[in-house]
Amino acid sequence: MKKLIAVTALSFAAIAAQAKDIVDTAVAAGDFKTLAAALQAAGLVDTLKGPGPFTVFAPTDAAFAKIPKADLDALLNDKAKLVAVLTYHVVPGKVMSKDVKPGMVKTVEGADLTITTTSGVMVDQAKVTAVDIVADNGVIHVIDTVVLPK
pTM for this structure? Answer: 0.85
On whether residue 108 sits in a domain, the answer given is yes
On whether residue 61 sits in a domain, the answer given is yes
- Specify the pLDDT at position 88: 97
Q: What string of DSSP letters covers 34-95?
A: HHHHHHHHHT-HHHHTSS--EEEEEE-HHHHHTS-HHHHHHHHT-HHHHHHHHHTTEEES--
- Would you write out the chain's pLDDT as a tens digit for each of its 150 residues? 444 333 333 333 334 445 699 999 998 988 999 999 999 999 999 999 999 899 999 999 999 999 999 999 999 999 999 999 999 999 999 999 999 999 999 999 999 999 999 888 999 999 999 999 999 999 999 999 999 998
Coil, helix or strand for 116? strand
On whether residue 47 sits in a domain, the answer given is yes
Number of domains observed in the structure of the chain: 1
- Specify the pLDDT at position 19: 61
On whether residue 148 sits in a domain, the answer given is no
Domain carrying residue 38: 20-143
On whether residue 63 sits in a domain, the answer given is yes
Element (H, E) at 11: helix 2-18
Identity at 148, one-letter amino acid code? L
> Residue 77 and residue 109: Cα distance in Å, rounded?
19
On whether residue 5 sits in a domain, the answer given is no
On whether residue 150 sits in a domain, the answer given is no
Which CATH number covers residue 118?
Answer: 2.30.180.10
On whether residue 2 sits in a domain, the answer given is no
Q: Name 36's Cβ contacts closer than 8 Å, sequence gap at least 6.
A: 23, 26, 27
Residues 44 and 53 sit within 8 Å (Cβ to Cβ): no
